[in-house]
Copies of this chain bind each other. A is one copy, B any other.
Amino acid sequence: MNELRKDPVTRRWVIISSERSKRPNNYHYDEAINDIFCPFDYGNENSTPEEIFSIRKDSTQKNKSGWNLRVVPNKFPALTTEQNFLKSGHGMYDKTSAYGYHEVIIETPEHNTSFALMKKEQISLVIKGYIERYNEIKKDKSIKYIQIFKNSGKRAGASLVHPHSQLIATPIVPYTIYEELKGAEEYFKFKDRCVFCDMIHQEIFEKSRIIMKTKNFICFAPYASRFPYELMILPIEHNEDFGSLKGKDSEIDEISEIFSHVFRKFRDILGNPSYNLVLHTAPFVNNVSDYYHWHFEIIPRTTNIAGFEWGTGFYINTVPPEQTALDLNYKEDII
């Protein structure tokens, strides 16, 4: 049975997956992605667990072909709702049962495509899939955080080629979100303003790190970018809750516009790198709406993480964000 364990020094939680325990000879870091049989293709619907949600062509049947977007439980889930959420001690250590959700958002029936190639309408469907599952799972009061993310390419941790995203919902607030919350809270106490809103204002004033701006969203390379071509996408107006996008079709289309532009640029300029797309939104705890501000982070995996970074959390970035903005900048004429 999987369990969650907490590091007593940093208070970082880890999912220990005992039942999937691999033996040493199962490690093949350089193994190519298996792409012979794809469980996400039309006709293979019964090789995934039963679908939870789909957007389908009229008069097509659940768990059959005819879908445009399909959400299924992960076949090898890190967390499940099979056992209740229980906290316990182990000597000085803390653990909990591995309660939660682990789902796969199959973004399109097309096997060989990507955000760089997809129609914007299809990208909008993907975002709608995110919003739908987010708002549904949020109803479970044991859940404290919903992590939506996409690993694209082997370097980013993908094990299947077919375009897909994932959702993991956890019964505790994850470390990185907790750290962001604490930082944003301290800033708010000092300034009585949202730190993310202040960043947006400074970026709009300075212009030098902006990739693209729409009516409601901004995409820029953060001032203290950890990685070459790291990007952030935020709603310009203060909003802590990603789920509030539900029904706002024109806003969803703006995000698709930005994704489409950014991933085309990645393809054209960086040679289609592996990347991680990660949503940060407010955890389901009290009183964070004043100072948390939801956003996407995009990290192309052009470099590896070495010992100095692991040891210190101190990154060396050889591409200043101002250079990233020059390289990826949105110009009407080239789209």
A→B interface (CB under 8 Å): 5-18, 20-22, 24, 27, 29, 78, 90-93, 145, 147, 149-151, 154-158, 166, 168, 170, 174-177, 179-180, 183-184, 187, 195-196, 198-199, 202, 205-206, 222-226, 228, 269-271, 273, 276-280, 297, 299, 301-321, 323, 327
Interface of A is mostly: mixed
Identify which of B175, B271, B278 contacts A307 (C-beta below 8 A).
Answer: B278
- B24 near A180: Cβ-Cβ < 8 Å: no
Give the distance in Å from the alpha carbon of A276 to the alpha carbon of B308 in the complex: 9
- B312 near A90: Cβ-Cβ < 8 Å: no
- A145 near B223: Cβ-Cβ < 8 Å: no
- A195 near B9: Cβ-Cβ < 8 Å: yes
- B14 near A147: Cβ-Cβ < 8 Å: no
Given contacts A8-B198, A93-B202, A276-B306, 4 further A-B contacts (CB under 8 A): A16-B321, A27-B271, A92-B198, A174-B312
- B157 near A313: Cβ-Cβ < 8 Å: no
- B323 near A21: Cβ-Cβ < 8 Å: yes
Identify which of B175, B226, B279, B311 contacts A14 (C-beta below 8 A).
Answer: B226
Identify which of B5, B18, B273 contacts A224 (C-beta below 8 A).
Answer: B5
Identify which of B92, B271, B316 contacts A202 (C-beta below 8 A).
Answer: B92
List chain B residues, Cβ under 8 A from A269: 24
List chain B residues, Cβ under 8 A from A176: 10, 310-314
List chain B residues, Cβ under 8 A from A320: 16-18, 21
Identify which of B154, B177, B304, B307 contacts A149 (C-beta below 8 A).
Answer: B307
